[in-house]
């Protein structure tokens, strides 16, 4: 990403298709990593490996947030805007 940013110094980097695809992949992988972390907390809560710290309320909250992320990931992508 840094090499690509340096390469596109003369114009708007958000207009570059290659930069946008790399940024989108980076965002998708970051979101997947966050979801995986939440799923680990839910698993710890359900297995009661840390009953004092991860109580049922925390397990439910993280499970709900993880479900919202999963629903967001299933949404279809936006159609590309056609500029004249």
Structure confidence by residue, pLDDT tens digits, 20-60: 788 888 889 999 999 999 999 999 999 999 888 999 999 99
Average pLDDT, integer, range 56-68? 95
Q: Could you give the CA distance from residue 34 to residue 72 in angstroms, rounded to a whole number? A: 13
Total structural domains within the chain: 1
Domain-embedded: residue 54: yes
Read off the tokens for 6: 């340096």
Confidence of residue 77 (pLDDT cuts 50, 70, 90): confident
Handedness of CA 18, 21, 27, 32 (dihedral sign): negative
Domain that holds residue 40: 2-74
**Using CA atoms in the order 33, 34, 36, 41, what is the torsion angle rounded to 10 degrees?**
150
Domain-embedded: residue 82: no
Domain-embedded: residue 14: yes
Note the pTM of the prediction, 2 decimals.
Answer: 0.73
Q: Could you give the CA distance from residue 45 to residue 41 in angstroms, rounded to a whole number? A: 6
């Amino acid at each position: 990403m840094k090499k690509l940013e340096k390469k596109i110094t003369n114009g708007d980097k958000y207009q570059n298709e290659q930069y946008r695809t790399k940024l989108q992949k980076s965002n998708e992988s970051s979101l997947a990593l966050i979801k995986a972390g939440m799923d680990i907390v839910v698993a710890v809560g359900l297995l009661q490996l840390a009953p004092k710290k991860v109580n049922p309320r925390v397990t439910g909250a993280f499970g709900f947030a993880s479900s919202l992320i999963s629903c967001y990931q299933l949404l279809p992508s936006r159609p590309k805007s056609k500029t004249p």
